[in-house]
Structure 1
Amino acid sequence: MAGERWPILVVSGVVPEGGCKVGDEVNGPALPTKADRLFGPDPSGLDESPRGMVVLVIVGMIVGLLSGMFGIGGGTVIVPALVWLGLSQRHAAATSMLAIVPTSISGVISYAHNGNVDWIAAVLLFAGMFAGGQLGSWLLSRLPELVLRWVFVVFLIFVTVNQVIFTPSRDQRISMSVATGIGLVLLGVVIGILAGLLGIGGGALAVPALSMLFGASDLIARGTSLLAMFPNSITTSVANMKRKLVHIKAGLIIGIIAALTTPFGTWIAGAVSPRVGSIMFACYLGMLLVRSLFVAIRATRAS
């Protein structure tokens, strides 16, 4: 009708003068658009080509083996791999936490089947990790990328040194007391902050701490660590998804593949001696430390 302005939808890929694009309106109000998932679209930047998908599958297989062998979530592998595939350090860390959910479930089942889980210690550890994880997730959305890289390097140095100088026993258990319970909660707070900040499950810190500070055997420390990180990875992932930091597809691909290979890693952990297991873990962390240090130095110079 005369005098009225009718909306014209741009349905081609050609962007007209003025900046409109596919789905925009000319001379009319914008139509509401529906998000493609509950917490919004995946963060952009990830290489989703066939090559990228193959890398995600390989990373999942490696993570599953390491999780079963060492009682870790695998963030020390997942985060650098996702950064290499194009995600920022922030989004890689958040996506890693989602991948740890199915990985830790599989590991807990494998360790619990052989009686190598301290359920009470895991609950206390998670209580602290829950609070710390929320703080870590909050910091993750605010700290600069360069700070995150250097925190990751310092964390790796600490864990590697501990693996070299300490050999856990295989026949000890956690002796529970009031002081032990308080200590487990405080340890959980520290682990939760690092988990939310670095995108790790926290096992690389929890396993040596449970053995050195609380007298757990190497296998019980690993099984208990995986049980504690399971609910923490869920709560932290929910917080990260609400902040739209998680690449859901990548996290699920890595996590599901890892869950399938974790039982084999658990079998390896029981087949080797505690000292051999510590040396293997230290060698892996040492290689990762060299790479992470190189990347952090390069990023510092570039900034």
Structure 2
Amino acid sequence: MQIYLPIANMSVNILTMILLGGTVGLLSGMFGVGGGFLTTPLLIFFGIPPTVAAASAATQVTGASVSGVLAHWERGGVDLRMGLLLAAGGVIGALVGAWLFNALSGLGQIDTAINILYVAMLGSIGWLMARDAWRDIRAERSGEPVQVRKVHHHPLVANLPFRWRFYKSGIYVSPLAPLALGVFTGILTVLLGVGGGFVVVPAMIYLLGMSARVVVGTSLLQILLVTAFTTMVHALTTHAVDIVLAALLLVGGTFGAQMGARLAVRLPPQKLRMALAVIVLLVALRMFLGLTYRPPELFTIELLG
């Protein structure tokens, strides 16, 4: 059964889009990531224009983050002060990202820019995840204890002025650090349609030195607020949000996330991280080939109907 996407200006199979959202939701539930960094490239593979894919994926991430924030809030796993600071930076970054989005669109380079950014980010993140996961798997097989990295403030963060005390996070740092992190995440959210959790969570642990107890919940709060603002920015400026597409993805993602969460408790965490790293690297490789591989025919004409 086909349905017309008014903003993407094309028809898609309803079941295919729901299954795509369910697949991303399944991975999200299994690996504890927002899933936006996989949604956009998968939509591009199915022929959705990169601009519409990025904007609609941000809308899906907004809806998917609500239940996660509520669950973490109930058990005291959200640092509201830190989350609002990150979100404030994210709003600034979203405005900057919208300007970049429009500037690149005017130059006719926005699709290429989105693909290049995805290849660079997914390739580097996938490599780091695979390296750490392989180290842990090898240590487990040899019977050696896995070395846990001690978390401290990064020297650049520790030297920033105007320190604040964040009691729930258990840190004493300058608000400039989370504000700058939020700006960077906001730019990525507009350009790539990602929630930014795969960037924010490691940064909060290894740069800010936050307690692991509140990292995920605080990250989800920031993702919820920033992606909601980003959706509004896209709707008012780029006009690239396809609400029909976002709704189909959200339906599938909601059920997929529940199934993924149940599977996650049955699988070893090291192998889960390695599986996610392999998936990320394969997506990066596919997008890299799309940028560099020249098809036998540059233009094709298809007769519809």
Scaled by the length of structure 1, the TM-score of the pair is 0.73
1:18-57 alignment to 2 at 5 Å? 42-48=6-12, 52-57=13-18
Q: Which amino acid aligns with 2:9?
A: G
CA displacement at 1:260 relative to structure 2: 3.6
Rg larger in structure: 1
- After superposition, the C-alpha distances for 1:24-82 in whole angstroms (9 at most, x for unaligned) are xxxxxxxxxxxxxxxxx93133333xxx2112111221222333344433222221232
1:165-176 alignment to 2 at 5 Å? 165-166=131-132, 174-176=169-171
Contact 1:146 1:300 in 2 (8 A): no
Contact 2:36 2:195 in 1 (8 A): yes
**Separation of aligned partners in 2, 1:278 and 1:217:** 21
CA displacement at 1:251 relative to structure 2: 0.7
Q: Which amino acid aligns with 1:45?
A: N
Residue 26 of structure 2 is aligned with which of 65, 82, 94? 65
CA displacement at 1:219 relative to structure 2: 6.6
- Structure 2 residue aligned with 1:237: 231
Distance 1:195 1:252, change over 3 A: same
Distance 1:66 1:283, change over 3 A: same
1:254-269 alignment to 2 at 5 Å? 254-266=249-261
Q: Does residue 207 of structure 2 align to residue 213 of structure 1? A: yes
The size of the alignment, in residue pairs, is: 259
**Separation of aligned partners in 2, 1:107 and 1:291:** 30
**Separation of aligned partners in 2, 1:58 and 1:69:** 16
1:79-158 alignment to 2 at 5 Å? 79-143=40-104, 144=109, 145-158=111-124
Q: Does residue 161 of structure 2 align to residue 161 of structure 1? A: no
**Separation of aligned partners in 2, 1:150 and 1:214:** 28
Contact 1:208 1:221 in 2 (8 A): no
**Separation of aligned partners in 1, 2:98 and 2:280:** 24
Residue 244 of structure 2 is aligned with which of 249, 255, 272? 249
- Structure 1 residue aligned with 2:302: none
Task: Report the secondary structure of 1:177's partner residue.
Answer: strand
Contact 1:175 1:214 in 2 (8 A): no
- After superposition, the C-alpha distances for 1:81-139 in whole angstroms (9 at most, x for unaligned) are 32233321111111111111111112223444554433332222111111111221232
Indicate the larger mover: 130-139 or 116-125: 116-125
CA displacement at 1:261 relative to structure 2: 3.5
Distance 1:294 1:182, change over 3 A: same
- Structure 2 residue aligned with 1:27: none
**Separation of aligned partners in 2, 1:103 and 1:186:** 25
- Structure 2 residue aligned with 1:14: none
**Separation of aligned partners in 1, 2:29 and 2:148:** 18
- Structure 1 residue aligned with 2:191: 197
CA displacement at 1:170 relative to structure 2: 11
Distance 1:275 1:84, change over 3 A: closer
Task: Report the secondary structure of 1:237's partner residue.
Answer: helix
Residue 39 of structure 2 is aligned with which of 69, 73, 78? 78
**Separation of aligned partners in 1, 2:30 and 2:268:** 12
Indicate the larger mover: 232-241 or 250-259: 250-259
Contact 1:191 1:202 in 2 (8 A): yes
Contiguous gaps of at least 5 residues in structure 2 = 134-146, 152-167, 300-305
**Separation of aligned partners in 1, 2:21 and 2:52:** 17
Distance 1:115 1:139, change over 3 A: same
- Structure number with the bigger relative contact order (C-alpha 8 A, sep ≥ 6) is 2
Contiguous gaps of at least 5 residues in structure 1 = 1-40
**Separation of aligned partners in 2, 1:226 and 1:261:** 18
Scaled by the length of structure 2, the TM-score of the pair is 0.73
- Structure 2 residue aligned with 1:29: none
- Structure 2 residue aligned with 1:222: 216
Identity over aligned pairs, percent: 27
Indicate the larger mover: 246-255 or 120-129: 120-129
Task: Report the secondary structure of 2:207's partner residue.
Answer: helix
CA displacement at 1:250 relative to structure 2: 0.4
Contact 2:56 2:241 in 1 (8 A): yes
Distance 1:85 1:274, change over 3 A: closer
- Structure 2 residue aligned with 1:292: 287
Q: Which amino acid aligns with 1:148?
A: I
**Separation of aligned partners in 1, 2:86 and 2:266:** 27
**Separation of aligned partners in 2, 1:174 and 1:193:** 25
